[in-house]
A and B are shown apart, each in its own frame.
Chain A
Amino acid sequence: MHAAPAAFGTAAQIADDVSSGTTTASAVVEQHLARISEHEGDIHAFNLVLAEEAREAAAAIDERISAGDEVGPLAGVPVVLKDNMCTRGVETTCSSRILKGWKPPYSATVADRLTDAGAIVVGKANLDEFAMGSSTENSAFGPTHNPWDLEKVPGGSSGGSAAAVAAGFAPLSLGSDTGGSVRQPASFCGIVGVKPTYGSVSRYGLIAFGSSLDQIGPFSTTVEDAALSFEIIAGHDPLDATSAPEPALPVRSKLDAGVEGLRVGVINEMNGSVIEGLDADVLARSRAAAEALAAAGAIVEECSIPSSVYGLSAYYMVAPAEASSNLARFDGVRYGLREDGPNTALMNQASRTAGFGAEVKRRIIVGTYALSAGYRDAYYGKAQRVRTKIIDEFNAAYKNFDVLLSPTAPSTAFAMGDKTADPMMMYLNDVCTIPSNLSGQPAMSVPFGVGDDGLPIGVQVLAPLMGEVVMFQVAAELERAAGGAA
């Protein structure tokens, strides 16, 4: 197995060592690049490794430090960006043939915030094409392998970002989560993965899939690192109209506060009695997590989100509907793949047909159908109402609980090829994570032991809108209970 999370230290440790002069950014980058060199062939976490660029950036940081200039809180820390985040002048493909070779003329806000903080981007990570998938098997450039077991998937759609951190290629990476695409891979790869409150992290420069659901979030090996990176990437962005007006929440402030007196609600529908298909070992770890919190002084009870069982149905109407519109722009006119045709419409069609993979085509068709005249109210319209119900039920629960708890994924990492024949089987991966995308509320996955097969299992902490502080607080306690940072 190739897993080596934080092989060269956590982000917090590295940042400390670099700024104190204990090590240099260049040395840190070389370590990580060497590890990438050795193991990337087996894992395929990246679409693009940015070795030379990283070396240059590290050298620049080292120069500034020698000159006594200010450097940011992540100076010298290697990071990986999911390849659906624009990086100026650097190929950004969404793991799709339709964007192969495309170099954006601008960078995503989150990319700028990380590099402004001194972080060094070492590569663009593989993903399910256009973020549509739960295993990274839908990448047009080949799948990513789970560092814990190369025959297994790393999860998706942010499989590359998760694998990179689990393999020790970088202590931090960013993924995007629309239906669970950060949390589920985090669970499969034994690392921390966060989906923040919708609007707390700018989507400017994130190539859109489901606009009202997408959120960018960090992968890390420790809760502290996730908190550190969250504070850097979150906060208002005037370029994103859906961006919350507040600055980043101070999520590091309560990491050591413990959970005494906090009220934790275990979601009934996700404890095995309602939603089917949750593996026994996963449920066992989830129960263990609840017990650990109780032992640490939390008040743990059951709570119910009845409409969460309809989350999957609602999501698979809303997300594809928005996606079908978001992906219309890929028409071979201004950028990306062009396959010629005698007129523009035929050229558009030829380009899109050649450029998009099967899952993307499926979702575009579902989404187009869900929005068409005559079906719109029955599908898209209804789904948006189910959403309201889920939100109302969550809000009611949060009147009585500070956070909620559930498994992150229904199983440990499954084998490659296991679920590719039937899309519905793949979609079931998201049952526990989807409801919080629909509600916009934050949720994160914390590694909490292993399954019967020795593969990692994560548990999910959910919190109300802008409730990241208490969410991280509880996550930190779970991390301690699990035996500390991996």
Chain B
Amino acid sequence: MRHEPSLPDDWELVCGLEVHVELSTATKLFCGCANQFGSEPNTNVCPTCLGLPGSLPMVNESAVTDAMRLGRALNCTVLPSVFARKNYFYPDMPKDFQTTQYDQPTNDSGWLDIPTGERIGVERAHIEEDTGKTTHVGGDGRITSAQYSLIDYNRAGVPLVEVVSRPDIRTADEAKQYVSELRGILLALDVSDARMEEGSMRVDANVSIRPVGSDELRTRCEIKNINSLSSLGRAIAHEANRHLDLYTTGDAPVQETRHWDEESGRTRSGRRKEDSDDYRYFPEPDLTPLIPSADELDAIEAGLPVFPAEQRSRLAEAAGIEPTAASLIVDRGDADFALASIDAGADGARVVVHLDNNLADGIGKLTPASFAELVGMETGGALSATQTKDVLAEMVTSGQSAADIATARGFEAMDTSELDSMVDELIANHPDEWSRYCGDDEGDAKKMAGFFTGQIMKATKGQADGKVVAQLLNARK
């Protein structure tokens, strides 16, 4: 049952996300200025992105291709499109209208499947230009108390794709999965850095609630200023409960834009959002319609990479694990490496464990073949778990083979008969500890197991296999 845990059983979350993705093209959407983060203010500007009188826009063909690829990755239909002017005044908008797409967007009606299996509809994914950046000065840095504002137009005109989901999301966690999955897709396509913290992926959440069983769409609020995945989850849960409080006291939420305040953990009222905000849209007379050819669409289709969902299921199958358990590896971009290692003969389960736990900082100089060799040594008993971890760490930095490193370090598999006599000797020398190990107090017995194992490890300089030692102790109980 898809139920938002922070709401009572009889209320349901209805949530849609609007995600603005900054494309990582070389130039802006309508001019040849560099699309570059972090330049000195107002150095990547030209008549077009400054909105100087007499300037004209010219569409960046890579931005369009990237947008179509993203559309297909989200299972959208790619359509002939028309740019439109969205007219409103704000100083970060050089023309005091935004050139965007209105009733004929590039991508229409798709979906995104999240890891836990739900399908979230995508209404559309359209192309539009970004605004400049405004810094509010004076007061406490918030819009409402600023004394004046400073504007940098370096970002004005940067290409964005706005991905609008249907209100199919039912839990805050689903929202986080959606964003995370979208990010994975963007990285696989290599069209954006998609970093929420840096602003190359901006997420606004539309939140409303309704009684379970009804299919009405009640008043929704748009939540802005969400800067991380965890904030997203918190903001949605908070807002849903704010609506709940209003309904249960006989009141109701007002349709408006609200800002998430991370510090206080609350949303604050922003601007009244009216459906009737009149932007006086009309087709952009300075640009031509875009009509992709069948050949172009075929090329896009053929060139699509393998996406995270597919990577997870391939890895899951190869390693014999659940797809969700493959997430970490896929998110880090190590799926291909994992599959290749399994192909080279490595045990799937061990591959996953090592990648999850011991290779968080990257595979470095490790190759699938060398990794497979190491894992084979581990599963075959030639190396203990601890030894394997050590060798792995060195393989990552040095690129040497497992066998070479193991020999150099003098790691050899401990002969079980040697261990046998060591265990017997220990038991003979520590009768009190031994009787506690064999006793009824489980906690105490565990402690003693640790004591004996520790002694063996010390004596063997860590070469003994902890599992084998445990077996030997247990057999003598």
Contact = CB atoms under 8 A, between A and B. Distances in A.
Given A203-B56, A239-B58, A334-B94, A329 B51 contact: yes
Given A328-B89, A329-B95, A345-B89, A86 B54 contact: yes
Interface stretch (B7-15, B283-291, B395-403, B466-474): B283-291
Nearest to B86: A325
**Interface of chain B, main secondary structure:** loop
B211 interface: no
A322 interface: yes
Nearest to B59: A241
A215 B323 CA distance: 61
Interface in B52-67: 52-59
Given A322-B285, A373-B276, A333 B52 contact: no
A416 B59 CA distance: 45
Contacts of A102: 53
Contacts of B149: 344
A204 interface: yes
A372 interface: yes
A108 B54 contact: yes
A189 interface: no
B89 A348 contact: yes
Nearest to A99: B53
A322 B87 CA distance: 11
B151 interface: yes
B96 A372 contact: no
A206 B286 CA distance: 12
Residue of B56, B58, B87, B151 with highest tally of chain A CB at under 10 A: B56
B265 interface: no
A240 interface: yes
Residue of A102, A207, A328 with highest tally of chain B CB at under 10 A: A328
B280 A372 contact: yes
B58 A241 contact: yes
B47 A106 contact: yes
A344 B55 contact: no
Contacts of A380: 282
B56 A325 contact: no
A414 B161 CA distance: 54
Interface string A315-339: 0000001101100111101110000
Interface in A205-223: 205-208, 211-212
Interface in A353-383: 368, 371-373, 376, 380
A207 B58 contact: no
A43 to B, nearest CB: 26
A368 B280 contact: yes
A204 B55 contact: yes
A371 B280 contact: yes
A242 B91 contact: no
Interface in B272-324: 276, 278, 280, 282, 285-288
A85 B95 contact: no
Nearest to B282: A371
Contacts of B58: 238-241
A318 to B, nearest CB: 9
Contact of B286 (A84, A92, A94, A211): A211
B47 A211 contact: no
B346 interface: no
Interface string A61-96: 000000000000000000000001110000010100
Given A348-B89, A373-B278, A328 B97 contact: yes
Contacts of A306: none
Contacts of B96: 328-329, 331
A325 B94 contact: no
B193 to A, nearest CB: 29
A206 B52 contact: no
A154 B54 CA distance: 25
Given A333-B151, A373-B276, A241 B287 contact: yes
A331 B89 contact: yes
A454 interface: no
B84 to A, nearest CB: 11
B266 to A, nearest CB: 26
A105 interface: yes
Interface in B61-94: 85, 87, 89-91, 94
A85 B282 contact: no
Interface in A121-170: none
Contacts of A333: 91, 151
Contacts of B52: 86, 104-106, 334-335
A104 B94 contact: no
Interface residues on A, range: 35 or more
A329 B56 contact: no
B50 interface: yes
A149 B331 CA distance: 79
A325 B50 contact: no
A476 B278 CA distance: 51
B288 A372 contact: no
Residue of A203, A344, A372 with highest tally of chain B CB at under 10 A: A344
A207 B56 CA distance: 10
Given A86-B53, A204-B56, A239-B56, A325 B91 contact: no
B53 A325 contact: no
Interface in B90-120: 90-91, 94-97
B343 to A, nearest CB: 50
A104 B55 CA distance: 11
Contact of B54 (A104, A322, A330, A344): A104
A329 B54 contact: no
A84 B54 CA distance: 8
Contacts of B286: 208, 211, 241-242
Contacts of B55: 204-205
B54 A85 contact: yes
Nearest to A130: B53
Contacts of B50: 334
Contacts of A85: 54
Contacts of A238: 58
A86 B287 CA distance: 21
Interface in B23-68: 47, 50-59
A311 B372 CA distance: 78
B456 to A, nearest CB: 75
A325 to B, nearest CB: 5
A94 B53 CA distance: 10
Contacts of B288: 241-242
A344 B51 CA distance: 17
A253 B163 CA distance: 54
Interface string B401-445: 000000000000000000000000000000000000000000000
A99 B286 CA distance: 22
A162 to B, nearest CB: 21
Contacts of A368: 280
A98 to B, nearest CB: 10
A345 B93 CA distance: 13
A207 B54 contact: yes
B57 A325 contact: no
Contacts of A373: 276, 278, 280
A106 to B, nearest CB: 5
A325 B282 contact: yes
Given A104-B54, A372-B280, A211 B94 contact: no
A84 B286 CA distance: 18
Contacts of B85: 325
A111 to B, nearest CB: 10
A102 B53 CA distance: 10
A212 B285 contact: yes
B123 to A, nearest CB: 21
Pairs A-B, 3 closest by C-beta atoms: A328-B96, A211-B285, A371-B280
Given A104-B52, A334-B50, 10 more contacts: A86-B52, A106-B54, A205-B55, A238-B58, A239-B56, A324-B280, A328-B87, A329-B53, A329-B94, A376-B280
14 contacts: A86-B53, A99-B53, A106-B52, A204-B56, A208-B53, A211-B286, A240-B58, A324-B87, A325-B282, A328-B95, A328-B96, A334-B52, A372-B280, A373-B278
